[in-house]
């Protein structure tokens, strides 16, 4: 496997996403990205995905995840597995936090985050319909009530 040494940082508002492994490098088995979440940053809507699982490995700080009906704290060294089809959401009310996120199989890539970033950066309040359309196009099902 070849590494370029340079990784693209994708900014969505205050969030930072940096892909460590893209699906093409793993034969489609997984994709992996670093997620940086400053304190009280705006975060994605609750959502689910039916075609892939998500595993979160806490690296720094603590994020609170809502998975199904449960609230789970994920701090440095903690691991959270989110099965496909389960609605989830996170927030960070503490100091800046980061996690390593693994998607299996590798159906979610940087294209999704670039598209969401473009909608958020378009000026004015982000268009919820445009965000929901991008989410659906990339296999996420947004849950718009309760957010």
Is the residue at 4 inside a domain? no
Is residue 2 domain-resident?
no
Helix (H) or strand (E) holding 37, with range, is strand 31-37
What local confidence, expressed as pLDDT, does residue 124 receive?
84
As a whole number of angstroms, the distance between CA 107 and CA 22 comes to 9
For residue 101, tell me if it sits in a domain: yes
Instruction: Identify which of 17, 139, 31, 140 has the alpha carbon closest to the alpha carbon of residue 89.
Output: 140
Q: How many domains does the chain have?
A: 1
Provide the residue-wise pLDDT of the chain in tens; the chain has 147 residues.
Answer: 445 557 899 999 999 999 999 999 999 999 999 999 999 998 888 999 999 999 999 999 999 999 999 999 999 999 999 999 999 999 999 999 999 999 999 999 999 999 999 999 998 888 999 999 999 999 999 997 644
pLDDT at 43: 87
Q: Is residue 16 within a helix (H) or strand (E), and if so which, with residue range?
A: strand 15-21
Does any domain span residue 105? yes
Count CA within 13 A, CB hemisphere, residue 145: 0
- Residue 136 structural domain: 9-142
CB of 47 within 8 A of CB of 87? yes
Q: Which tokens is 105 given?
A: 């199989």
pLDDT of residue 5: 59
In eight-state DSSP terms, residue 144 is -
Looking at the domain assignment, is residue 1 inside a domain?
no
**CATH code assigned at 45:** 2.60.120.10
Farthest CA pair distance, the chain = 44
Global pTM exceeds 0.75: yes
84 touches 106 (CB < 8 A): no
In a domain, 121, yes or no: yes
Q: Which is nearest to 118 in space by CA: 6, 12, 2, 16?
A: 12
Residue 55 covered by a domain: yes
**Alpha-helix residue ranges (DSSP H) falling in the chain:** 110-120, 128-137
């Amino acid at each position: 496997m070849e590494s370029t040494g340079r990784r693209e940082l994708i900014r969505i508002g205050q969030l930072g996403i940096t892909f460590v492994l893209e699906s093409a490098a793993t034969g489609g088995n997984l994709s992996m990205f670093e997620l940086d979440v400053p304190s009280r940053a705006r975060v994605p809507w609750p959502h689910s995905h039916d075609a892939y699982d998500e595993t979160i490995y806490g690296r720094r700080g603590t994020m609170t995840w809502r998975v199904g009906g449960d609230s789970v704290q994920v701090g440095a060294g903690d691991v959270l597995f989110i099965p496909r089809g389960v609605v989830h959401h996170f927030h960070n009310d503490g100091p800046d936090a980061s996690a390593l996120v693994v998607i299996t199989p590798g159906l979610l890539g940087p294209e999704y985050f670039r598209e969401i970033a473009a909608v958020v950066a378009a000026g004015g309040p982000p268009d919820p319909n445009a965000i929901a359309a991008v989410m659906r196009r990339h296999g996420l099902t947004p849950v718009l009530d309760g957010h």
